[in-house]
Homo-oligomer: A and B are copies of this chain.
């Protein structure tokens, strides 16, 4: 039976290879990615819904006792969030947070270790499900981008089992870009918005051919995601996730546009404030050393405390009654996008609050108060909740707050103009739901610095009739927010000190006037073509750069190329390493033996042997030190060394603007500044990043800049190697090899 299953497996593998070679790996890969992500998204949504239902059920069942009810309401999310934080911390701490900042860095060509592994995948999926199941104001968009990228990375590893060209690095990056689109696409069932949003948040320069892949995979994924809902009898056919039913014939009046513009501008300020508040909280907790120390010890305390605070405030019979606390995030959004007007209108019949919308009604306070309280409370709660170290994003909470703000403006407008604004005969009353859509797009656009939230909104609601108000509001919100604060993702990049080249603001003229010569480092470490191993050794010990410049000579300074640090370390260890050392010892021994056989008489052989050996050891100990000195003084032989003969060069007059563009375009790490072939300076990415802190586990590897076949050697290991050499050299210890000549002969 085992042989049989093996045979079966062989056939399956063969079939797969055949399919792959026929249809093209890219297509199969994208289809599989879309399929897997749709399933993941659907299953997660299902689990999250179950969790939220369980909480409601518990809360509803205990309505006889307020204290028990409160305990149930509070304990449930605290347990879930604590579990999520603990699980994430133990399995893969990289899984915490949004993931978009890290993907942005990875797509730029930086290798973040452990970011795309199976462990992280498991931690992210389970952690996110628990976090969202707790009902905290957290989002799933950012984590989904990360999950999709994880999926793509794992899938490409899996597919390389069937052969193919999945080792290519730039190809991998292209696939990751498509994966980001899939992530957003299947999270909101918004393929177009997904592609555009992922481009905006992760790329600086975008290859249009990737666009295609992203569209294909995201559409397929969104399709499967929605088909699953139909098959599960949740829906009759494929429609939008948060379908609205605004009237088509007269969506809004031209005279309402100022109100939409106000929403846009206010959202811009709100978005900037959100980013600022989020950063402030993180920095406050970091700076307060006492708090920090305490929290570091009890890692789960901070998430638990934050959750306790937030869930206490939203407790429906308590303060929660003023902010529709009983509604989940999804329910809030559905009610906010409601077709009807909530505020009492001049018309006699009062509005009937049906279903979830009833939560917004309060006997004492009117709808406006509920909305204002909701906006203010959710605002700081979301900013606080997103600092919890669990997998979570900020998009959805911000989206809901924006919708609430839009609804507030809309309801005010409806109260102000009960007959509508339009003057020509027909009464077209104002649609506050339309304002909610505009507000949602504007605030989420302001926080993320994207315009494509507009498209996401169209796809989420299934209506495009408010396109102009939405576009105007989103653009205004972006204009305001971008001039005040970085995007939430760039803010996290700065907080986490990820190695990312920040964008240059546009409209600033200085960047055209600053030149490379103003920022370059003039004291470049280099090696010359005729240097000795000792020079090499010295340079390696004093210089920490990943690549070193190779010049013709100190006089001419003509740049010949650059050599990776690892290559130089190999050169040095080859020269001083064990094989050559042993070879030398063997020769020494042979020489000595010859000498001995002449000098010593055969009769005294046995007695002399021990003494001789000791002498030999001492002699060779000194000899090896001398030998090392000799070796270090030899000229370096670069023949077997991989040299990058065309490192990127700039001239001193290149403007900062151009330099920035080129660095972003090519994903450069550093560039040499030359003047007619002569090396005069170096500019590196690290300098451009403020702080220039070396992040642990980060290795900058530009995707396009280097044209050599770079090996996959781990540089850490080689550093150790070098240190060993160094210690050996200073201590002049002898290699403790029992059979020097034996092993040497084998290796030859």
User: Which residues does A use to contact B, with CB under 8 Å?
Assistant: 24-26, 165, 168, 170, 191-192, 196, 199-200, 203-209, 211-212, 215-216, 219, 222-223, 226-227, 230, 236-240, 243, 245, 248-254, 422, 424, 451, 454-455, 458-459, 462-465, 467-468, 471-472, 475, 478, 503, 506-507, 509, 512, 552, 558-561, 643-646, 649-651, 653-654, 658, 661-662, 665-666, 674-677, 704, 707-709
Q: Which residues of B contact A465 (CB under 8 A)?
A: 239-240, 462
A-B contact pairs, 11 of them (CB 8 A): A192-B455, A212-B478, A236-B250, A236-B424, A240-B464, A240-B465, A248-B462, A558-B560, A662-B704, A665-B665, A665-B666
Q: Which residues of B contact A248 (CB under 8 A)?
A: 243, 245, 462-463
- B237 adjacent to A254 (CB under 8 Å): yes
B205 contacts A665, CB within 8 Å?
Answer: yes
Residue of B at shortest CB range from A231? Answer: B254
Given contacts A205-B206, A222-B468, 12 further A-B contacts (CB under 8 A): A170-B658, A170-B661, A199-B208, A205-B208, A212-B451, A216-B475, A226-B468, A645-B677, A646-B649, A650-B707, A653-B707, A666-B666
A374 to B204: give the CA distance in the assembly, Å. Answer: 46
Q: Is the CB of A208 within 8 A of B211?
A: no
- Of B209, B237, B472, B709, which contacts A506 at CB under 8 A? B209
A13 CB to closest chain B CB, in angstroms? 21
Residue of B at shortest CB range from A209? B506
Q: Give complex CA distance A199, B451 in Å.
A: 15
A24 to B482: give the CA distance in the assembly, Å: 15
Closest 4 CB pairs of A and B: A646-B649, A560-B677, A219-B471, A464-B464
Chain B residues near A475 (CB-CB < 8 A): 215-216, 219
- Kindly identify which residue among B240, B643, B651, B707 contacts A658, using a CB–CB cutoff of 8 Å: B707
Residue of chain B at shortest CB distance from A509: B165
**Contact partners of A464 in chain B: CB under 8 A:** 240, 458-459, 462-464
A451-B211, A558-B558 known; A704-B661 Cβ under 8 A? yes
Bound together, the chains give a CA A254 to CA B224 distance in angstroms of: 11
In the complex, are the beta carbons of A677 and B458 less than 8 A apart?
no
Q: How far is the CA of A503 from the CA of B211 in the complex (A)?
A: 14
Secondary structure at chain A's binding surface: helix, strand, loop or mixed? mixed
Contact pick for A239, options B251, B645, B653, B666, CB 8 Å: B251
Q: Which residues of B have CB within 8 Å of A653?
A: 707, 709
Contact A561 B238 (CB under 8 A): no
Say yes or no: A676 contacts B200, CB within 8 Å: no
Is A237 within 8 A of B219, CB to CB? no
Say yes or no: A552 contacts B646, CB within 8 Å.
no
Q: Which B residues are in CB contact (< 8 Å) with A170?
A: 658, 661
Residues of B within 8 A of A666 (CB): 662, 665-666
Bound complex: CA A314 to CA B100 (Å): 56
> Chain B nearest CB: distance from A569 CB in Å?
20
* A204 closest partner in B (C-beta): B208
Cα–Cα, bound, A646→B646 (Å): 10
Assess the B650–A238 pair: CB atoms within 8 A.
Answer: no
Query: Taking CB as reference atom, which chain B residue is nearest A245?
Result: B248
Q: In the assembled complex, which residues on chain B have CB atoms less than 8 Å from the CB atom of A451?
A: 211-212, 215
Write the nearest CB–CB distance from A546 to chain B, whole angstroms: 19
Q: Which of B223, B236, B552, B559 contacts A468 (CB 8 A)?
A: B223
Determine if B507 and A26 form an interchain contact, defined as CB atoms under 8 angstroms apart.
yes
**Contact of A467 with B471 in the complex, beta carbons under 8 Å:** no
A250 CB contacts on chain B under 8 angstroms: 236-237, 239
A237-B208 in contact (CB<8A): no
Chain B residues near A552: list those with CB within 8 A.
558, 677
Q: Are B204 and A205 in contact (CB under 8 A)?
A: no
A463 to chain B, nearest CB (A): 7
Chain B residue with Cβ nearest A202? B208
CA distance A238 to B248 in the complex (A): 11
Query: Would you call A192 and B468 a contact (CB within 8 A)?
Result: no
Asked if A559 and B212 sit within 8 Å, CB to CB, the answer is: no
Shortest C-beta distance, A217 to chain B (Å), equals: 10
Distance A200 CA – B654 CA, assembled complex (angstroms): 30
B704 near A468 (CB under 8 angstroms)? Answer: no
**How close is A323's CB to chain B, nearest CB, in angstroms?**
31
Structural contact, A24 and B507, CB atoms closer than 8 A: yes
Q: Which residues of B contact A205 (CB under 8 A)?
A: 205-208, 665
Expressed in whole angstroms, the Cα–Cα distance for A208 and B239 within the complex equals: 30
A676 & B215 in contact (Cβ 8 Å cutoff): no
A471-B662 contact given A211-B200, A254-B237, CB 8 Å threshold: no
A682 to chain B, nearest CB (A): 13
A150 to B474, CA, bound (A): 28
Bound: A690/B247 CA distance, A: 55
Bound form: Cα–Cα A708–B462 in Å: 52
- Please name all residues of chain B whose beta carbon is closer than 8 Å to the beta carbon of A506 when the two chains form the complex: 26, 209
Report how far A253 CA is from B645 CA in the complex, Å.
60
A238 to B559, CA, bound (A): 62
- A657 and chain B: residue at smallest CB distance: B170
Query: In the complex, A464→B460 CA distance in Å?
Result: 10
Q: Nearest Cβ distance between residue A530 and chain B, in whole angstroms? A: 14
A637 to chain B, nearest CB (A): 14
The residue among A216, A226, A662, A676 with the most chain B CB atoms within 10 A of its own CB is A676
Of listed A170, A237, A462, A472, residue having the most chain B CB within 10 A: A237
CB distance from A75 to the nearest CB of B (A): 41
A558 neighbours in B (Cβ, 8 Å):
552, 558, 560, 677
Q: How far is the CA of A674 from the CA of B165 in the complex (A)?
A: 28
Chain B residues with CB below 8 A from A650, complex form: 646, 707
Cβ-defined contact, B209 with A503, below 8 A: yes
Say how far A444's CB is from chain B's closest CB, in angstroms.
Answer: 16
Q: Least Cβ distance of A700 to chain B in Å?
A: 19
Interchain CA distance A217-B211 in the complex, whole Å? 22
Residues of B within 8 A of A199 (CB): 208, 211
Report yes or no: B676 in contact with A645, Cβ–Cβ below 8 A.
Answer: yes
On whether the beta carbons of B512 and A223 are closer than 8 Å, the reply is no
- Looking at the assembled complex, report how far the CB atom of A186 sits from the nearest CB atom of chain B, in whole angstroms: 13
Within the assembled complex, what's the spacing in Å between the Cα atoms of A472 and B552?
A: 59
Q: Provide the bound-state CA to CA distance between A676 and B422, in Å.
A: 75
